[in-house]
Structures are given as C-alpha cells and as structure tokens.
Amino acid sequence: MESKAAGRRFSRFPSFRFLEILSFVHSGVYAVVLVFFLGPENETVTLIFGWAHGLLWIGMSLLCIVAARRRTIPFWLAVVVAVIGGLGPFAGTAGFLWEEHRRRRAGAAAGGAQPS
C-alpha cells in the first residue's frame, strides 16, 4: 500500500506551481549573473551563479520534459524553457505567467472557481 501512495505523489511531480516557482528562482540567479558580468566584476560570484544557472537550466529542462509528457504543462512551454532557457530564462518565466493567466481565464469562462 505504501508504494501506491508514493507512486501517486510522484505522478503529480513536478507540479505547475513548483515549476513556476523554480523558473522565478532561475531568472533571479541569471539576473545576478548578468549584474556581475556587466557591472562590478566579481569573478567568484559570476562563476558560482553561472554554474547555478547552468545546473538550473539542465534541471528545468528535464523537469519540463517530464511535465510536458504528463500534460502538466503545454509542449510549447517546455520548448521555451529547454531551448531558450539556456540563453535567457526570463522567457520561460514569462511563459509560465502567460500560461497561468490563460488557465485562470479558462477556469473563469468555464464557471470554475474564481481566482483569489
């Protein structure tokens, strides 16, 4: 019985909200890289946050592929995160905001729960 419950919890991972929050974190890390690359030079900070950006991009890409296969997110959003996310994760964050807005409008139009 325990494995069935664990399997159900795992089948809901990664959730849309988790990916959206992780996308915001990724954009914040990338913003720090840009600030210290273009502004006051600090090789250590640029190196650490550069590696963090790279690892987050790989992780986000893999998670978005899984989420697209499970139909948690649309395919176009997974492509934006995986393809454009390496150069600018802000596009993925904008995509998550767009999709969240679209889902809220669709829910309101269908007579679903009103967004709070």
Per-block mean pLDDT, blocks of 10 residues, the chain (116 long): 59 90 96 92 92 95 96 96 89 95 90 56
| Helix (H/G/I), strand (E/B), else coil: 72 | coil
d(CA 16, CA 39): 34
Chain centroid to CA 38: 25
CB count in 10 Å sphere of residue 31: 14
Give residue 116's pLDDT.
Answer: 43
**Stretch (H or E) spanning 55:** helix 43-69
Give residue 52's pLDDT.
Answer: 96
Give residue 7's pLDDT.
Answer: 56
